Structure 1
Amino acid sequence: MSTSTGAQVAIARLLAAGVDVCFANPGTSEMHFVAALDSAPEMRPVLCLFEGVATGAADGYARIAARPAATLLHLGPGMANGLANLHNARRALSPVVNIVGDHATYHKALDAPLESDIEALAEWVHGSVHRPATPDDVAAAVDSAVHSATGEPGGVASVILPADFSWGPANAGVPVPPQRQSASSGMRIEAAARLLRERGPHALLLLGGPADSAAGLIAAARIVAATGARALVETFPARVARGRGVPHFERLAYLGEQATEQLSGTTDLILVGARSPVSFFAYPGKPGDLVPPGATVHAVAASDLEKLADHLGAPPYVDAPSDLAALPSGPLNAQNWAQVIAALLPEDAIISDEANTSGFFLPTATAGSASHDLLTLTGGAIGQGLPVAVGAAVAAPHRPVIALQADGSALYTISALWTMAREQLDVTVVILNNHAYAILQMELQRVGAAAAGEQSRSLLELGHPDIDFGSIAQGFGVPATQASTAEELAEQFRAALAEPGPHLIDAAVPGLSV
């Protein structure tokens, strides 16, 4: 029996598996895990003021680092606070390992105020749950969780660590060998090539996951050139390569009517790392399944995309860079703010995009920008953008991170600004401030609900009083400025990128007419 505590064993196992960052919001039941960090200097603890920031940061870290970070969460309520961004992580297939503290085993029967069903919460995100039966099982539980998170298809894994197991002695044990699952291979390359040749423009590749890398998009562009087929990127990709040197494909539209138009004429829909398309919500009199009637759905493994292009004898990809609009001038609007960002975007940047309705023009504007990675709202649970930017900046400290953030969803996890300041992360936050839940104003019309009264409007507007993001940011230790014109945004964006540490720009952008 080793003299290590269960907490020390858990941290050692995480480090052995390459998990060396822990986004944390701990409580009493996790104090021995916190103390054990002093004996493990290789583990970087990052304090977050809300569990939804910790889980969102772990998601952003995984998308950029392509390996998991850990979170440290306080009992069931802490897990519950982090669930929305764990939902987004699940949709992104991001590997995340949660360490969730629990009451001491002998205390659980007392039904203390914070007692809850942690397993049920952890299972809600469709992840694996690992509760050690004895202190000597802690090592195996952590090993199994990491292997589950990093296997195929990957995702969220949770270790429930009772407090007495954490503070008591535990055997380090023997590492559990990884049990890798094979991803589904989909169609054979020969069959896919034959189908694409026969169907031509009536075949459509829907690209997601690894297919959204630069190599995947280039292979898709070659296939399109060789066969006349079409290609779209899924609506909300976890990470998609963008900018010069990378083919620009439209994303499948968020609005079902627009997506239906994009998919029109498709007889064969080929999913490459993407899910079959459905509308985000049900609308009266409108279909939820967006696959065109009579179309056949196929699947091709993303790992086979380049082989498929070669099998087709597709020509090499030749970049045809898009022209960037000149820096605009005048009062900010829904279009010109995106042109400012596009023109000044630095090479190898990472964009965390939660601009929502204010970002309608962003994809087109940035098609010809410097090469960058774009991280989007995979699961639709808002409040992701700032935490994901935190995680991306921790994963890639050498790369500039830009968070393009709608005002309403920023407030869900605004305390992420404090973590940016404390860790001195190079994140430039641009708040697109239209003083409204504009997405809900649009959806009110789309669902056919009649609401024009003062009470209904009060739930969709963010004024009375207006929110002072500059003061909020400065209160968290982040320098802030305000921009109301394209010239001011350009000047402030340049300055923020040139200085180390985080900055926030409160950009007054009128809402997009819907």
Structure 2
Amino acid sequence: MTDQPTQSMTGAEALVSTLADHGVTACFANPGTSEMHLVTALDHEPRIKSTLCLFEGVATGAADGHARVTGTPAMTLLHLGAGYLNGGANIHNARRAWTPMINVIGDHAVPHQRYDAPLASDVIGMAGPNSRWIKSADKVGQAGDLAAQAWEASFGPEPGPVSLILPADTAWLEGGKPGATRARPSLRQPDTITIDVAAAAVKSASKPIIIINGTALTEAGLAQAARVKAAGVRVLTDTFFPRQARGAGRFIPDRMQYFAEGAMSDLEGSDLMLIAGTQVPVAFFAYPGKPSVLVPEGCTPMKIGGPETDSAAILEALADALGAKEAAPVAELDLPGAPTGALNAATIGASIARHMPEGSFVSDDGVSNGLPSFLMTQRARPHDWMMLTGGAIGQGMPLALGASLAA
């Protein structure tokens, strides 16, 4: 027998097949002329389902929602720097949600870039600020390996959006090859010394609190949060979080208030603030005479794990170190009656709670007026709630689209 010749691949085919090899199953696309060879490659790759979106902000928001449900990155396909900017608001939100996302951005062919065509732009300069990792595959032999690097980088060290730029000639030229398979980076596990120090601080505090996000807001993570609560620590979530398991059978943590003065009043008297899966809280905006960092006077902040950590495991380790044998109660199913009166966030929330099926995913971009609906659904049937983490408008329906396709 003779060896079969290796089938030649274009750069676009190398990129797409490499992402499929790493488990990417969805692409949300708004392509243009420079991305046509990527479209062809996607048509020939059955492992990735492509969804055409009529605006780039829908594509990037849907990729965010898809990843929040699956835990793995989706791919977007965007038309040069201008297309990236059109999708930029929801990429900003995804970065604030620590959502893995692979943005594939087309560019002019490398020899054509010198002529400053109308759509020419500094793609790296535009996409860099919201990208955990960004590179351009200027040679066809780089496309597959950079795709593998992009996939890996979307998971960490801190998860988030990455950007891979593919010039048109790299896409159409043959000579591409799949990138070597890379291992998925894992969230950092609890540090024993840090947990012991935190447990000792809790035991000596008079009014300790912990602010949680990340895996701590899964059903398993909230079960550990209930143990921490039973050990005497008040448990709060960030004001806005990527995803939280809620409803009957789940522990209900408190939530950081949106307005700075309300948050500071709510936290008054706390003398220890533990942080797990997130960052020390700051106000959304500055106001005259109001604090920017939402830590009360006399309260010591202690970060026991940031967004790069498995915060559910941190809560379990902390509960063990505190000797927590019991757990705080979980929510019981309690559906409100039929709402009457004015149509407002509370009556809308009551209606949602009454009719929402078990297993629903809710996309909430209400920001300043969403709290009543949030509160009315706390004891609804089990569901997951996804929020606008970065404050940039236009996320709600695109996020729901991506989540529904993933689920």
Residue of 275, 280, 284 corresponding to 2:288 = 284
Q: Secondary structure at the match of 1:99?
A: strand
Change over 3 Å in CA distance of 1:233–1:173 after alignment to 2: closer
What's the counterpart of residue 384 of structure 1? 395
Unaligned 5+ residue runs, structure 1?
397-514
**Residue 13 in structure 1 maps to residue 7 in structure 2:** no
What's the counterpart of residue 119 of structure 2? 114
What's the counterpart of residue 194 of structure 2? 188
Matches of 1:181 and 1:21 in 2, distance apart?
22
Alignment of 1:235-250 (within 5 A): 235-250=239-254
TM-score by length of 2: 0.92
What's the counterpart of residue 146 of structure 1? 151
Residue of 77, 94, 97 corresponding to 2:99 = 94
Q: Secondary structure at the match of 1:107?
A: helix
Cα contact 1:130–1:144 (8 A) shared by 2: no
1:237 counterpart letter in structure 2: F
> What is the CA distance between 1:55 and its match in structure 2?
0.5
Alignment of 1:418-437 (within 5 A): none
Q: Secondary structure at the match of 2:176?
A: coil
2:317 counterpart letter in structure 1: K
**Residue 61 in structure 1 maps to residue 71 in structure 2:** no
Matches of 1:179 and 1:356 in 2, distance apart?
33
Alignment of 1:345-364 (within 5 A): 345-364=356-375
Q: 1:401-458 CA distances to partner (integer Å, 9 max, x unpaired)? A: xxxxxxxxxxxxxxxxxxxxxxxxxxxxxxxxxxxxxxxxxxxxxxxxxxxxxxxxxx
**Residue 175 in structure 1 maps to residue 196 in structure 2:** no
**Residue 306 in structure 1 maps to residue 319 in structure 2:** no
Q: Secondary structure at the match of 1:269?
A: strand
> What is the CA distance between 1:294 and its match in structure 2?
3.1
Change over 3 Å in CA distance of 1:171–1:322 after alignment to 2: closer
Change over 3 Å in CA distance of 1:244–1:268 after alignment to 2: same
> What is the CA distance between 1:176 and its match in structure 2?
5.3
What's the counterpart of residue 52 of structure 1? 57
Cα contact 1:2–1:170 (8 A) shared by 2: no
Q: Secondary structure at the match of 2:180?
A: coil
Q: Secondary structure at the match of 2:9?
A: coil
> What is the CA distance between 1:355 and its match in structure 2?
2.5
Cα contact 2:131–2:163 (8 A) shared by 1: no
Cα contact 2:252–2:331 (8 A) shared by 1: no
> What is the CA distance between 1:321 and its match in structure 2?
1.9
Residue of 326, 345, 368 corresponding to 1:334 = 345
Q: Secondary structure at the match of 2:166?
A: strand
Matches of 1:28 and 1:122 in 2, distance apart?
20
What's the counterpart of residue 268 of structure 1? 272
Alignment of 1:385-404 (within 5 A): 385-396=396-407
**Residue 30 in structure 1 maps to residue 40 in structure 2:** no
Matches of 1:320 and 1:385 in 2, distance apart?
26
Cα contact 2:367–2:391 (8 A) shared by 1: no
What's the counterpart of residue 496 of structure 1? none
Q: Secondary structure at the match of 1:188?
A: helix
Cα contact 2:230–2:326 (8 A) shared by 1: no
> What is the CA distance between 1:41 and its match in structure 2?
1.9
Q: Secondary structure at the match of 2:75?
A: strand
Q: Percent identity of the aligned residues? A: 42
> Which of 80-89 and 165-174 deviates more?
165-174
> What is the CA distance between 1:47 and its match in structure 2?
0.6
Q: 1:361-417 CA distances to partner (integer Å, 9 max, x unpaired)? A: 122211110111000000011111111001101110xxxxxxxxxxxxxxxxxxxxx
Matches of 2:151 and 2:17 in 1, distance apart?
12
Unaligned 5+ residue runs, structure 2?
1-5, 306-310
Change over 3 Å in CA distance of 1:178–1:42 after alignment to 2: closer
> What is the CA distance between 1:2 and its match in structure 2?
4.8
Matches of 1:220 and 1:168 in 2, distance apart?
53
**Residue 197 in structure 1 maps to residue 207 in structure 2:** no
Cα contact 1:138–1:170 (8 A) shared by 2: no
Change over 3 Å in CA distance of 1:150–1:320 after alignment to 2: closer
Alignment of 1:474-485 (within 5 A): none
2:194 counterpart letter in structure 1: R
Matches of 2:209 and 2:268 in 1, distance apart?
10
* RMSD of aligned residue pairs (Cα, Å): 1.8
Q: Which runs of 4+ in 1 moved over 3 A?
A: 176-187
Q: Which has the higher contact order (CA 8 A, sep 6+)?
A: 2
> What is the CA distance between 1:285 and its match in structure 2?
1.8
> What is the CA distance between 1:173 and its match in structure 2?
4.8
TM-score by length of 1: 0.74
Matches of 2:245 and 2:158 in 1, distance apart?
20
Q: Secondary structure at the match of 1:204?
A: strand
Q: 1:192-241 CA distances to partner (integer Å, 9 max, x unpaired)? A: 222222214x2110011111112222211211212x22111100010011
Matches of 2:38 and 2:342 in 1, distance apart?
52
Q: 1:479-505 CA distances to partner (integer Å, 9 max, x unpaired)? A: xxxxxxxxxxxxxxxxxxxxxxxxxxx
Q: Secondary structure at the match of 1:106?
A: helix
**Residue 74 in structure 1 maps to residue 79 in structure 2:** yes
> Which of 317-326 and 206-215 deviates more?
317-326
1:240 counterpart letter in structure 2: Q
Residue of 161, 165, 176 corresponding to 1:160 = 165
Matches of 1:50 and 1:20 in 2, distance apart?
21
**Residue 254 in structure 1 maps to residue 278 in structure 2:** no
What's the counterpart of residue 427 of structure 1? none
Alignment of 1:486-501 (within 5 A): none
Cα contact 2:134–2:162 (8 A) shared by 1: yes
Matches of 2:227 and 2:205 in 1, distance apart?
16
Matches of 2:223 and 2:106 in 1, distance apart?
45
What's the counterpart of residue 497 of structure 1? none
1:151 counterpart letter in structure 2: G
